[in-house]
Amino acid sequence: MQQLLQHNPWNEWMQKQSANTSNLFGADSSILGMLKELGAEIDPQVLGRLQSEYLVELGQLWQDFLTSKLPEFSDRRFASNDWHQQATHAYNVAIYLLNARFLGLLTEAVQTTEKKKQKIRFAVQQIIDAASPANFLATNPEAQAKLIETKGESLMQGITQMLEDLKKGRISLTDEAAFQVGKNVATTEGSVVFENRLFQLIQYKPLTKTVHQRPLLMVPPCINKYYILDLQPENSLVRYALEQGHTVFLVSWVNPDLSLADLTWDDYIELGAIQAIEVVQRITKQDKLNVFGFCVGGTIVSTALAVLANRGNHPASSLTLLTTLLDFSNTGVLDVFVDELQVSMREQTLGHGGLMPGRDLASTFSSLRPNDLVWNYVQSNYLKGQKPPAFDLLYWNSDSTNLPGPMFCWYLRHTYLENSLRVPGKLQVAGSAVDLSKIDAPVFIYGSREDHIVPWQAAYASCSILNPKKSNRNRFVLGASGHIAGVINPASKNKRNYWINEKLDANPQTWLDHAEERPGSWWPEWATFLADHGGKMIKAPAKVGAVGYSEIEHAPGRYVQVRAD
């Protein structure tokens, strides 16, 4: 039996795997070399302990192999029976997962600052995710089975799709031919009633006979298209607000080209949010309106309201902030992309003019969830030759926008790098000192519990910045899921859950510990808040616009149609 094992090809394969992976902790380990280059150190005793534990587990895998016991694992990347029933692939996965776990432990053992450790953690995780056996035809049994089943057609289709994506400069996440803006996404009826070189203002047709006196102005992020708020009727937050009896206006940001490469943060505040507020006031003849901001749109509209407050103007009846950062102390994994060196490089290349390409921004966000937004599609689109299914949210995700270089660089330095926005009077924007505490309006703040772009604790931090002396005017609601899926959670589908707690605490975890968990969507909580600050009910306007603000074109308008690529 021993002789058979010594000459067994499976035995030789296992010995090769063992030899390759034994370098994980060795002096020639590429990972340890990378850590040393980054100036990171690991306590020799900790390193020795991890090495011993690693070898014990590797030895156990070896013993299991000798007794023909297949390893067990529960990773959704390897859910197919093909990974579990074939010894070669099962042990390949087992060794990969063993290495991945101990690389993670190595990273956590690094002795350095938390910021450096976060960068190291991110870099190592990128390596781990890229090295998955599922990402290569030679080690992916599902792709191999598909190749045999289709007599090579799957590989030919995969190569064709890969070449098409190379031309586009991005991976196809969905069947993009299945959607068209204005046809089956962004279809809520409305009209563009104002435009300048920075945005179009859409006024939507009422869906109720009476409406709240005070209009609602929605300001989406400028780094994405607005129609995340109006995908399709069943998951449109715009339509939901209309159904609740609000007169809804929405900012549709321009997708900048080189003619707009000189736009600044001041422009987005003065010519963007502030002008939108003033136009809505003039059209509706209302001094007060409910103001809404999503993600960067929330940062923009909050800055605008602070600028107006410094001028003695308080137009907001209420303010809604969804997954918005005002305090940038905790920026989650995005922090790995921001330091003095990287910001200075951007300022040198883009600070005085130029464009931050939308494809670069999209690649950055995809790298935050590479298994979901990169490798999953490498496997299905290229290795298996499958066409991605139609999915409205992923279509929107692929419809990226450029940003003007000066605006982008200002935003990076003064928020993500220096965290100055939260400090009263530290920044001058549009000729005014910015003090967010001067915004005089009750605030509805929403965070998503699994948000990797705006950690919910960071969203919660806005509670102490806004209305600092009247915290009872603020309300925080925590929703399930992530940055987008948590927000776009229609009330009609009654999915997921959310947490509420009327008593705000300085510590977000304390707030959560005493919060009440409720099933379904948080949208009705927001609807109640809006109704409380919407004023009396009046007859819905018979037509959109007003004198001087007639319809320019039907929604969704031209600006949203322009693609970055």
pLDDT in tens, 320-364: 999 999 999 999 888 889 999 999 999 999 999 999 999 888 888
Indicate the angle between helix axes 114-130 and 30-37, nearest 10 degrees.
Answer: 150
Q: Six-digit token pair at 11? A: 């035995």
DSSP string, 53-65: HHHHHHHHHHHHH
Q: Which residues of the chain have pLDDT under 50?
A: 1-11, 13-15, 17-22, 27-28
Answer for the pair 522, 498: CB distance below 8 angstroms, yes or no: yes
Residue 353: inside a domain: no
The Cα-based distances of 403 to 187, 279, 370 in angstroms read 25, 24, 23
pLDDT for residue 118 = 87
Sequence-distant (≥ 6) Cβ neighbours of residue 391 within 8 angstroms: 173, 174
Sequence-distant (≥ 6) Cβ neighbours of residue 495 within 8 angstroms: 489, 520, 521
Answer for the pair 486, 323: CB distance below 8 angstroms, yes or no: yes
Q: Is the peptide bond before 519 cis (omega within 30 degrees of 0)?
A: no
**pTM for this one?**
0.91
Q: Are residues 76 and 204 in the same domain?
A: no
Q: Are residues 215 and 81 in the same domain?
A: no
Residue 165: inside a domain: no
Q: Are residues 282 and 429 in the same domain?
A: yes
Q: Are residues 525 and 462 in the same domain?
A: yes
Residue 88: inside a domain: yes
Q: Are residues 115 and 237 in the same domain?
A: no
Q: Are residues 213 and 130 in the same domain?
A: no
Residue 391: inside a domain: no
The Cα-based distances of 347 to 218, 283, 355 in angstroms read 30, 39, 12
* Among candidate residues 260, 264, 292, 263, the one with its CA nearest the CA of residue 276: 292
Residue 239: inside a domain: yes
Residue 362: inside a domain: no
Strand partners, 356: 403
pLDDT for residue 4 = 29
Strand partners, 195: 200
pLDDT in tens, 42-54: 888 998 899 899 9
Total domains in the fold of the chain: 2
Q: Are residues 27 and 101 in the same domain?
A: yes
pLDDT for residue 469 = 86
Name residue 197's amino acid: R
Residue in the structure block whose two tokens are 């016991």: 69
pLDDT in tens, 220-268: 999 999 999 999 999 999 999 999 999 999 999 999 999 999 999 999 9
Q: Are residues 203 and 126 in the same domain?
A: no
Residue where one domain finishes, among candidates 102, 117, 135: 135
Q: Are residues 83 and 229 in the same domain?
A: no
Strand partners, 497: 519
Q: What is the span of the domain harbouring residue 57?
A: 2-135
Sequence-distant (≥ 6) Cβ neighbours of residue 547 within 8 angstroms: none
Q: Six-digit token pair at 427? A: 């920044």
Other CB atoms closer than 10 Å to residue 191's CB: what's the count? 20
Residue 390: inside a domain: no
Distance of CA 214 to the CA centre of its chain: 31
pLDDT for residue 21 = 44
In 59-93, which positions are buried (b, 16+ CB within 10 angstroms) versus exposed (e)? eebbebbeeeeebebeeebbeeebbbeeeebbbbb
Residue where one domain finishes, among candidates 135, 156, 172: 135
Q: Are residues 26 and 127 in the same domain?
A: yes
Q: Are residues 199 and 129 in the same domain?
A: no
Answer for the pair 523, 480: CB distance below 8 angstroms, yes or no: no
Sequence-distant (≥ 6) Cβ neighbours of residue 437 within 8 angstroms: 424, 465, 466, 467, 468
Pairing assessment for the beta strands 289-294 and 216-219 based on DSSP bridges = parallel
pLDDT for residue 28 = 47
Residue 428: inside a domain: yes
The Cα-based distances of 329 to 317, 420, 461, 462 in angstroms read 28, 10, 9, 11
Name residue 2's amino acid: Q
Answer for the pair 135, 380: CB distance below 8 angstroms, yes or no: no
CATH of the domain at 528: 3.40.50.1820
CA 251 – CA 271 distance, rounded (Å): 12
Residue where one domain finishes, among candidates 135, 150, 169: 135
pLDDT for residue 265 = 98
Report DSSP state, residue 22: G
Q: Are residues 299 and 229 in the same domain?
A: yes
pLDDT in tens, 79-104: 999 999 999 999 999 999 999 999 99
Q: Is 52 exposed, middle or buried (0-12, 13-18, 19+ CB in 10 A)?
A: exposed
Per 3-state DSSP, what percentage of the chain is helix, strand, and coil (rounded to 5)? Answer: 50, 15, 35
Which residues form the catalytic set?
295
CA 116 – CA 350 distance, rounded (Å): 26
